[in-house]
Structure 1
Amino acid sequence: MKIQFIILLSAILFGACSSLKKSDLTQQPTLEDYQIGEQWVWKYKGVTTEGEVRSDGIDTRTIVRMDEGLGMTIENDTIPLIDIVKPDESETPKYDWPLEVGKTWIYENNWTSQDGTTGTQSHQAEVLSYQEETVEAGTFMAYTIKYTGNTTNSRGYNADEEEIWLYAPAVKTFIKLTQSQGEFLYVEELIEYSKPK
């Protein structure tokens, strides 16, 4: 399960915004919204309903300089930031910019994990609220986005799924993810955010 999230998060989740406009709509970020040395650290844990821990660890992302510009370290890889902030032109995106309370859309994602397993997610998304939320890294204004739908994969897996994402514009990404998928519960929470002064 963690491999699926790494692939999904690396390409999509940093498609976040850095500031609210006067209309209180949150736009997708640009390269200028990031700084060398900026860092995010999450803790994650995935547990079955029977108590089996399937994933448990720390995920760190850092903005670094590359030959071709800024990049983001993700595990052992460094991805050009231009690829991460590139607008998603899909008709079924993870985030339908600009974000605002009450907005709804359809999110669909086809993925392939490192072991070759393919899968599909199909969700109804809705922005439920924009309010202060507290996680281990601190208190942030955040959108609560609920995704409800289904996930299948090439190994015959088929489960209803609900995901709650707390997305904080001030840190340009999510601060907490709670996913319930069949008999599996996954929680990821931002425990540290820092940037150069």
Structure 2
Amino acid sequence: MKSHILLFVALAMLVACNNATKSGITQQPTLADYKAGEKWVWKYKGVTTQGEVRSEGEDTRKIVSVEGALGMTIGNDTVPVADMVKPEESVTPKYDWPLEVGKKWKYEISWTSQDGTTGKQSQDAEILSFKEETVEAGTFMAYTIQYKGKITNSRGYSADADEVWLYAPAVKNFIKLTQTQDDFLYVEELIEYSKPK
């Protein structure tokens, strides 16, 4: 009898885990979710409606161990993973955790570029779906998150900015970004994801 109860509990836990995955509710990744050697590679391209290519290339990020602490390489910088996984205290965050289909929030950020230009992005965000999405790196369950609003800067630039981000919990990152700003289209897509065996 005891073995039947244990089997029932084990099956119930599997079903519960399966339902949690299918329900599409995702918590923010934690430090324990990252491993040294994990790697993401995206290709990107930005083109005007006239066909002028303004940006094109690849962006690689990797998890490295620096003096026993994990960091993510971003260009020439290494950002501590512990900082990346801290709960965002902003009332207008990029991702409003936990992620769930139908959730809506306001995303706002102010920034300063390397040349001293300041700017602001203000958008309404909504999670539209959680389903299989295929990119060059493979097929993943992903949230479709739509951001609609404006981007402005101190040089007088102002544009409507519509973005669609596909965020895949399995890779703890976005797998595709499509951004439209007036006459400019920018697409970034994950072409490789690997983790240590």
Is TM-score (shorter-chain normalized) higher than 0.5? yes
8 A Cα contact 1:147 1:162, kept in partner: yes
Question: Partners in 2 of 1:184 and 1:122 — Cα distance?
Answer: 18
Equivalent residue letter for 1:116: G
8 A Cα contact 2:24 2:101, kept in partner: no
Q: Deviations over 1:20-58 (max 9, x none)?
A: 982531000110000000000000000111111111000
Question: Partners in 1 of 2:109 and 2:65 — Cα distance?
Answer: 30
Residue 79 of structure 1 is matched in structure 2 by: 79
Q: Deviations over 1:31-86 (max 9, x none)?
A: 00000000000000001111111110000000000126100111111111111111
Equivalent residue letter for 1:26: T
Q: Deviations over 1:86-127 (max 9, x none)?
A: 111100000000000000000001011111111101000000
1:148 aligns with 2:148: yes
Question: Partners in 1 of 2:157 and 2:181 — Cα distance?
Answer: 11
Question: Partners in 1 of 2:19 and 2:69 — Cα distance?
Answer: 27
What is the aligned residue count?
Answer: 179
TM-score after normalising by structure 2 = 0.88
Unaligned runs of 5+ in 1: 1-18
TM-score after normalising by structure 1 = 0.88
Q: Which has the higher contact order (CA 8 A, sep 6+)?
A: 1
Unaligned runs of 5+ in 2: 1-16
Question: Partners in 1 of 2:117 and 2:103 — Cα distance?
Answer: 32
Does the C-alpha gap of structure 1 residues 20 and 196 become closer, same or farther in structure 2, counting only changes over 3 Å? farther
Q: Secondary structure at the match of 2:82?
A: helix
Residue 29 of structure 1 is matched in structure 2 by: 29
Does the C-alpha gap of structure 1 residues 20 and 43 become closer, same or farther in structure 2, counting only changes over 3 Å? farther
Larger Rg: 2
8 A Cα contact 2:24 2:130, kept in partner: no
Residue 59 of structure 1 is matched in structure 2 by: 59
Residue 129 of structure 1 is matched in structure 2 by: 129
Question: Partners in 2 of 1:81 and 1:24 — Cα distance?
Answer: 24
Does the C-alpha gap of structure 1 residues 21 and 119 become closer, same or farther in structure 2, counting only changes over 3 Å? farther
Residue 195 of structure 2 is matched in structure 1 by: 195
Residue 168 of structure 1 is matched in structure 2 by: 168
Q: CA deviation at 1:192?
A: 0.1
Q: Secondary structure at the match of 1:32?
A: helix
Greater shift after overlay, 80-89 or 100-109?
80-89
Equivalent residue letter for 1:110: S
Q: Deviations over 1:163-182 (max 9, x none)?
A: 00000000001000000011
1:98 aligns with 2:107: no
Q: CA RMSD in A?
A: 1.5
Question: Partners in 2 of 1:111 and 1:68 — Cα distance?
Answer: 31
Structure with the higher fraction of residues in helix conformation? 2
1:110 aligns with 2:79: no
Residue 185 of structure 1 is matched in structure 2 by: 185
Q: CA deviation at 1:132?
A: 0.3
